[in-house]
Structure 1
Amino acid sequence: MARIALILFAAILYVSGVSQADARSWQSSWVTVINERHGFAIAYPDNIFTQKSDQPKTDEGGVYLSKDGKAKLLVGAFENADRQSLEDYRQFLISDQYATAKIDYAPVKARWFVLSGDRNGETFYQRVSFTCGGKLINSWAMLYPTSERKTYDRVVEAVARTYTPGAGRTGSCD
């Protein structure tokens, strides 16, 4: 059974254009970040990203850079002090942060949305979740050179599967 699974995995990698060595190189070592204050969790491949060393210590989130500094993983949560609605915050991001972007993926659900696309040679993927009845905004984003999209799109997909939006220290919106 394990042999069949390995053959199937190799076939999937072959079809997707990824060699087994490439897949193992970035998938082999992951770090999970669990934010104590806001309760969110996310994992990332630590042989691609490392925490920005000059980043001030904060319980709001973190900035992680690729070894070459061209890609960024931004993770955080903050209080929705202005009590913006999900749609208002989404429109703010579109008009402010991504005003010049070509957005090509933008699903919206009851408590979360994604904005993904390209802007000036950079690809972005941002997932925003409203938790605790809209009192807390959890977000993560990956920004990377569009020229390296084939590689980083796979990383985004893998990181997205690890993300859990937070609901405070105990999970009860405290």
Structure 2
Amino acid sequence: MRLGIIAAVACTVAFAGTPALSQERTAGLDRPGWSVFADRAGTRVDYPAGIFTEEVGPARRGEGVELRSADGRARLMVYVEPNQENFTPERFVRTNLKVSARDIDYRRITDRFFAVSGVNQGEIFYSRCNFPGRAAGPMHCIYVAYPQSEERAWDDIVTRISLSLRVSRN
């Protein structure tokens, strides 16, 4: 089962230049070591700290952070993006999706979130944005990219990350 979302729809391009994939497994994949990421905007998400051990810097979209595995084979962004246009999840995807529809394997859109996933240059990408205020207020998002050859090993990991994304009420 592949989940998918591209809240960070444009991130597919942003993550170009990934190291060449080999038959090796992503560092930490067998021992994910779960932790909770939380930021000042109230974003909370379970993430495998045993895999995403290196902070690359600020997220390439919105306000947040980009993490990667020690071997650079997998990446995670957690970020908050303003929604000044008051996009609904459906309108955001329709307006901002930068990936061809044929590259999207999974697409789910509700009135509270969107999720998209697909394959690009040997990597699976998954993007999800929650819209806690519906079309009013910021979007709280995650973006995950990992080797396509490891799809089955990542299924449960990506599911947990995605389903845990929430906004705490301060």
Global fold match (TM > 0.5): yes
Q: Residue 166 of structure 2 aligns with which residue?
A: 164
Q: Given the alignment of the two structures, is residue 150 of structure 1 paired with residue 152 of structure 2, yes or no?
A: yes
Residue 167 of structure 2 aligns to a residue whose secondary structure is coil
TM-score of the pair, normalised by structure 1: 0.70
Deviation per CA, 1:82-132: give whole Å up to 9, x if none.
2223222112342x2x23762111111111111011122110111111122
TM-score of the pair, normalised by structure 2: 0.71
Residue-pair matches, total: 140
Deviation at 1:56, TM superposition (A): 4.7
User: One-letter code of the match for 1:127?
Assistant: R
Q: Residue 131 of structure 1 aligns with which residue?
A: 132
Q: Given the alignment of the two structures, is residue 39 of structure 1 paired with residue 53 of structure 2, yes or no?
A: no
RMSD of equivalent CA atoms = 2.5
Deviation at 1:166, TM superposition (A): 5.1
Higher Cα Rg: structure 1 or 2? 1
Structure 1: state its 5+ residue gaps: 1-23
Deviation at 1:136, TM superposition (A): 1.1
Q: Residue 114 of structure 1 aligns with which residue?
A: 115
Structure with greater contact order relative to length (CA < 8 Å, sep ≥ 6): 2
Deviation at 1:65, TM superposition (A): 0.2
Q: Residue 5 of structure 2 aligns with which residue?
A: none
Rounded to whole Å, the distance in 1 between the matches of 2:88 and 2:165 is 22
Deviation per CA, 1:11-33: give whole Å up to 9, x if none.
xxxxxxxxxxxxx9424x22211
Rounded to whole Å, the distance in 1 between the matches of 2:168 and 2:81 is 10
Rounded to whole Å, the distance in 2 between the matches of 1:56 and 1:126 is 17
User: One-letter code of the match for 1:108?
Assistant: I
Deviation per CA, 1:123-155: give whole Å up to 9, x if none.
011111112242211110111111121222221
> Which runs of structure 2 are paired with 1:70-109 in the superposition (5 Å)?
70-94=73-97, 96=98, 98-99=99-100, 102-109=103-110
CA contact (8 A) 1:138 1:166 kept: no
CA contact (8 A) 2:44 2:168 kept: yes
Deviation at 1:51, TM superposition (A): 3.9
Given candidates 52, 55, 58, the residue that maps to 1:52 is 55
Percent identity over the alignment is 27
Runs of 4+, deviation exceeding 3 Å: none
